[in-house]
Amino acid sequence: MNATTLPILDLARYHGAERDAFLTDLRHAARDIGFFYLINHGVDDALQHAVQREAQRFFALPDEQKQQVAMIHSPHFRGYNRAASELTRGQPDWREQFDIGAERPALLLSDDDPGWRRLQGPNLWPQALPTLKPALLNWQRAMTTMAIRLLRAFAEALQLPATAFDALYGDKPNEHIKLIRYPGQQETQSAQGVGAHKDSGFLSFLLQDQQKGLQVEVAPGRWIDAAPLPGSFVVNIGELLELATNGYLRATVHRVVSPPANQQRLSIAFFLGAQLDAVVPVYTLPPILAQEAHGPESDPHNPLLRDVGWNYLKGRLRSHPDVAERYYRDVLRERTEQLIV
């Protein structure tokens, strides 16, 4: 790929006279790069700014208050992590973060239930910041509505029915928000804000501040900056869409480089995934598209699974070994025994 910047797609075109041209541009952006800027997305500016302010307030809390909602207290992988707590490809990511998912009650479990059913459950909320919960849940609802609209546009761009993917996310999509703060490089002595990786869900959306750091691997070993663009989200394809389209759509490797000394980077990510009990099929594309689908690219050390719940849990166990050891010892033991056999 010779791209030097990400394409810019205007979601307003999807609802107007340029609908067909938009769908063509969307397909090419997702096929050729797997990343793009999305503008005129319909998420209210005031809500965006409110969420960014709440994120700043959260990270400004004293450490003891953030530790009250630490992820180690959640079997659902929700809550706060200090910098270097999460691993990517075995190496620590120098970012502090706060994770929330869909606000749902924990499931009643039996001994025979698969481990991934433990993933559903309530979030942890800091008592010192009561305005955080309503702001994030309002933003989550707005993001889910917009993301589903874009996902339906993807279906149409692939010449499938607009509702082709609806059954996969159903009434319980796997909605995930990350508030992320990257400290300056001098604080960490490492350039790995986040190590090189692909996202696992359907679609990912990133709301950036003014500090650059996100980089996209448009070709093997060639990285470009996804510099902040006011009023936009950076959108990328997740592995579920790559899997569902037999590799026609591209889940692209990306990373975050730590900011310079005495600076920080604040970003807010939203991930739309399928229901945990879903199994991802391979959709039948029109012949002209199917001939360009060469199968998904799977990391041999982290292979894709069509069972959404197991695929998501596998990623959580790898990224947060402390939470895994506390709540999922039985799952880790079963995996070890399977490898030995």
Instruction: Write the burial class of residue 287 (CB in 10 Å: 0-12 exposed, 13-18 middle, 19+ buried).
Output: exposed
- Give the DSSP H/E element, type plus range, for residue 87: strand 87-88
Per-residue pLDDT at 15 exceeds 70: yes
Sheet of 254-257: strands edge to edge?
A: 192-197, 254-257, 214-219, 222-225
The values of phi and psi at residue 58, to 5°, are -65, -50
What is each CA distance from 79 to 38, 50, 131, in whole angstroms? Answer: 28, 20, 16
Q: What is the pLDDT of residues 43-53, one digit of tens each?
A: 999 999 999 99
Distance of alpha carbon 25 from alpha carbon 9, whole angstroms: 7
- Give the DSSP H/E element, type plus range, for residue 55: helix 45-60
Q: What was the pLDDT predicted at 340?
A: 42
Distance of alpha carbon 1 from alpha carbon 143, whole angstroms: 30
Q: What is the pLDDT of residues 206-260, one digit of tens each?
A: 999 999 999 999 999 999 999 999 999 999 999 889 999 999 999 999 999 999 8
CATH assignment of 8-340, among 2.60.120.380, 3.40.980.10, 2.60.120.330, 3.30.10.20: 2.60.120.330
Q: What is the pLDDT of residues 312-330, one digit of tens each?
A: 998 899 889 999 999 999 9
The whole-chain average pLDDT of the chain stands at 91
CA angle 253, 259, 264 (to 5 degrees): 120
Q: What is the pLDDT of residues 106-147, one digit of tens each?
A: 999 998 999 999 999 999 999 999 999 999 999 999 999 999
Mean pLDDT along residues 84-106: 88
Q: What was the pLDDT predicted at 304?
A: 63
Q: What was the pLDDT predicted at 341?
A: 34
Q: What was the pLDDT predicted at 1?
A: 52
Distance of alpha carbon 235 from alpha carbon 39, whole angstroms: 10
Q: Please report, for the chain, the start and end positions of each structural domain, with discontinuous segments joined by +.
A: 8-340
Binned at pLDDT 50, 70 and 90, residue 339 comes out as very low
Q: What was the pLDDT predicted at 188?
A: 53
Q: Which residue has the tokens 């009023």?
A: 231
Contact 79, 288 (CB under 8 A): no
Q: Which two three-digit tokens encode residue 326?
A: 């506390």
Q: What was the pLDDT predicted at 244?
A: 92
Q: Which two three-digit tokens encode residue 56?
A: 């700043």
DSSP-assigned states of every residue in 267-313: EEEEEEE--TT-BPPPP---HHHHTT------BTTB---SBHHHHHH
Q: Which of 275, 250, 285 is nearest to 164 (CA)?
A: 285
In sign, the C-alpha dihedral spanning 137, 139, 142, 146 is negative
Binned at pLDDT 50, 70 and 90, residue 86 comes out as confident
Q: What was the pLDDT predicted at 305?
A: 67
Q: Which of 337, 327, 336 is nearest to 118 (CA)?
A: 327
CA-atom Rg of the chain in angstroms: 19
Distance of alpha carbon 53 from alpha carbon 277, whole angstroms: 35
Q: What was the pLDDT predicted at 81?
A: 95
Per-residue pLDDT at 67 exceeds 50: yes
Helix (H, G, I), strand (E, B) or coil at 1: coil
Q: What is the pLDDT of residues 259-307, one digit of tens each?
A: 988 899 999 999 999 999 999 999 999 999 999 998 887 554 555 668 8
Binned at pLDDT 50, 70 and 90, residue 10 comes out as very high
